[in-house]
Structure 1
Amino acid sequence: MTESRGTGERNLSTRLRTAKGRSTASQLWLQRQLNDPYVKAAKAAGWRSRAAFKIIELDERFKLFRPGQRVVDLGAAPGGWTQVAVKRVGDRGKVVALDILPMDPIPGATTLQGDFNEEAAEQAVLEAMDGPADLVISDIAPNTTGHNATDHLRILALVELAADFARKVLTPGGAFVAKVFQGGTERELLAALKRDYATVRHAKPPASRKDSAEMYVVAQGFRANPKADTAGQGG
């Protein structure tokens, strides 16, 4: 490993000991992981992923969490967002983490395995929460193809499904947060969110890598019986 020093603050750069057997893409990913301050900070803080800082930063900006809330984390694995939710809602709150993949248990949360698009998973979440949700969060993203238009459409399809799930389980006044890609939400989805929520905004938290196309849609003030008007704030 080598160290490189920049001007001003000391800048330590860790390099891979060997690239043997690794593709170029794999080498670049590992190099970035080794030198990512959020990865190091997540390990030091005990978060399961660097993504924990994204929901922390979104919460600091939009005041998403409150003590005693019921929270659903869709596509929760490996559990970084779930950990943050558990800490911020406290002992009086309830956090249900759902993923199609198996996930190690998280103290203070109920972890479920299933597809949120299936009715059985929806019912399991409602039963685990023992009531409607105050907040639905989703960091789900499809495997990228490298083709921007295709990737954009695929993640929008997931966001639409997540938004539909949130519509079924949220209590009036609740909130929905989901990952989208650069360009935000399509007109139809954005119109639907503005119909269903008092405010709809887009944000890119500092923890999102600068070269990443990801951003988040934050919809707050859920209307249980939305009117035909489209009041709200675009992002």
Structure 2
Amino acid sequence: MSEKSSGSGAGRSGRLKVRVKTARRRSSASTRWLQRQLNDPYVAKARAEGYRSRAAYKLAEIDDKHRFLKPGDRVVDLGAAPGGWSQVAAERVRAADGRGRVVAIDILEMDPVAGVQVLHLDFLDESAPDRLREALGGPADVVMSDMAPPTTGHRQTDHLRIMGMCETALEFAREVLAPGGAFLAKVLRGGTEGEMLKDMKRDFDKVRHVKPPASRADSAELYVLATGFKGRADEGGER
């Protein structure tokens, strides 16, 4: 690993740009990823401020603009590991103060987060909605998901896989959200047209795409934010 010593390698913050040499057992793609991580200001900021991932700032920036995380809310974080989104949600709903509640669900092991109950569970398990309501003390006000399957490099395949994951998260949200609740999930650019978007507009008062500054500009990543859940049809919700 080498570091440029001239002023031309410094970013706006004055940090020197780190250049990574390709190691014998490291692919060029891995080298590019590592170099991007080492030079990413959000990665450095997360490390300095105690967040577990740079993704924490994506949620913070979306909520700064749209204000859907409120003190006292009950929040579900699907596929939560390593816990960056759970950390932000716990802060904003005042979970550590006992006002709100955050339940993180993941099939992966996850270290404890202050104010967050972690369920080591596949959210597709048929017991998950009931276990979640029990942990929250009632239905959720917010269901959020930053989940994404491993990429294949084939754009259409990756698109279909991440949209399938979003649709599954949406189905889960319909099971556990309280009327008026919100749903936030990762998608890919152009990925919520058609039936899924139609269904979301039927189920929620407002549906919008958002791309926070922390989401890399060269990425096709977007988030879909749906607010004002109308309730399940079998519970008398408006449809």
For residues 56-88 of structure 1, what are the alpha-carbon distances to aligned partners after superposition, in whole Å with 9 as ceiling and x for unaligned?
A: 010011101110110000010000000001111
User: What is the one-letter code of the residue matched to 1:208?
Assistant: S
Amino-acid identity (%): 58
User: TM-score, normalised to structure 2's length?
Assistant: 0.91
Match of 2:135?
A: 128
Q: Is the 8 A contact 2:189 2:222 kept in 1?
A: yes
Q: What is the CA–CA distance in structure 2 between the aligned matches of 1:141 and 1:31, rounded to whole Å? A: 22
Counterpart contact for 1:196–1:223, Cα < 8 Å: yes
Task: Give the structure-1-normalised TM-score.
Answer: 0.92
**1:21, CA displacement in angstroms?**
2.2
**In the alignment, structure 1 residue 43 sits paired with structure 2 residue 21:** no
Distance 1:27 1:118 in 2: 37
Which consecutive segments of 4 or more residues in structure 1 shift more than 6 A? Answer: none
How far is 1:16 from its partner? 2.7
Pick which of 8-17 and 89-98 moved more.
Answer: 8-17
- Alpha carbons of 1:33 and 1:133: their partners in 2 closer, same or farther (altered >3 Å)? same
Equivalence for 1:211? 218
2-structure distance, mates of 1:159, 1:209 = 20
The superposition leaves residues 31-70 of structure 1 with CA deviations (integer Å, 9 ceiling, x where unpaired) of 1110000000000110000000000010011101110110
> Compared with structure 1, are the counterparts of its residues 29 and 88 closer, same or farther at alpha carbon in structure 2 (3 Å cutoff)?
same
- The C-alpha deviation readout for 1:92-147, integer Å capped at 9, x for no partner, is 10000001111111111000111111211222211110100000010010111111
Match of 1:185 in 2: 192
Unmatched 5+ stretches in structure 1 = 229-235
The CA distance in 1 between the partners of 2:123 and 2:28, in whole Å, is: 35
1:13 counterpart letter in structure 2: K
Q: Separation in 1 of the partners of 2:64 and 2:176? A: 24
CA distance in 1, matches of 2:191, 2:115: 33
Cα 1:8/1:189, change in 2 over 3 Å: closer
- Name the structure 2 match of 1:52: 56
Residue 211 of structure 1 deviates from its aligned partner by: 1.6
Secondary structure at the residue paired with 2:18? coil
Aligned to 1:5: 7
Contact 2:145 2:169 in 1 (8 A): yes
Query: Distance in 1 between the 2:171 and 2:208 partners?
Result: 18
Give the aligned partner of residue 232 of structure 1: none
Aligned mates of 1:181, 1:209 — CA distance in 2: 13
1:2-81 equivalences in 2 (<5 Å): 2-3=3-4, 4-6=6-8, 9=12, 10=14, 12-16=16-20, 19-81=23-85
Specify the code of the residue in structure 2 equivalent to 1:14: V
Asked if 1:199 is matched to 2:210, the reply is no
> How many angstroms apart in 1 are the aligned matches of 2:83 and 2:164?
23
Q: Which runs of 5+ in 2 are unaligned?
A: none
CA distance in 1, matches of 2:201, 2:128: 26
Could you tell me how far 1:11 is from its partner in structure 2?
5.3
Q: Is the 8 A contact 1:138 1:162 kept in 2?
A: yes
The 8 Å contact of residues 22 and 28 in structure 2, kept in 1 or not, is answered as no
1:166-221, CA deviations, whole angstroms, 9 ceiling, x for partnerless residues?
Answer: 01101110000000001131310000000000000001111011121110000000
User: Following the alignment from structure 2 to structure 1, what is the Cα–Cα distance between the partners of residues 192 and 181?
Assistant: 20
Asked if 2 retains the 8 angstrom alpha-carbon contact of 1:5 and 1:11, the reply is: no
What is the identity, as a one-letter code, of the residue corresponding to 1:15? R
Q: CA RMSD in A?
A: 1.6
Q: Which residue identity does 1:157 align to in structure 2? A: G
Q: Offset at 1:15? A: 2.0
Partner residue, 1:175: 182
- Partners in 2 of 1:75 and 1:18 — Cα distance? 32
